[in-house]
């Protein structure tokens, strides 16, 4: 019933931008906080962006603060991650999550390389 379908990602040059999307269904999206995580090879999955249900509050770790922006369109049941000034260390598999529960979208590969 609960579905999170992620799209976007791919190969991008250092300094470039990329936008990820996650379409949600099967739960009351408008009342729920959402988040994006990533997992690099050999590392644990980490939170990279959080957004409250109304989009009023967002949180980012220092590693992406000022470069990544999470947003949502509740009319479309979609959450986005706009990534700018990408660095090689941003290379990872990215996942969207219904924050309050263990529901995840499929992983999306983001590779930042020349």
The SS3 call for residue 89 is helix
Q: Rounded CA gap, 73 and 66, in Å?
A: 21
pLDDT tens digits along 39-89? 999 999 999 999 999 999 999 999 999 999 999 999 999 999 999 999 999
E strands, 1-114, in order: 3-7, 10-12, 18-25, 34-39, 46-51, 58-59, 68-73, 78-83, 92-98, 103-104, 108-112
Cα–Cα distance for residue pair 54/93, rounded to 1 Å? 26
pLDDT level of residue 10 (50, 70, 90 thresholds) = very high
């Amino acid at each position: 019933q609960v579905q999170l379908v992620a799209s976007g990602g791919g190969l991008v040059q250092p300094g470039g931008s990329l936008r990820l999307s996650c379409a949600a269904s099967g739960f009351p999206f408008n009342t729920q906080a959402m988040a994006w995580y990533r997992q690099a090879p050999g590392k644990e999955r980490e939170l990279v962006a959080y957004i409250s249900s109304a989009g009023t509050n967002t949180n980012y770790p220092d590693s992406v603060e000022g470069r990544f922006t999470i947003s949502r369109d509740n009319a479309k049941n979609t959450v986005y991650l706009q990534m700018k000034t990408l660095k090689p260390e941003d290379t990872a598999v990215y996942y969207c999550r219904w924050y309050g529960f263990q529901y995840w979208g499929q992983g999306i590969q983001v590779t930042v390389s020349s």
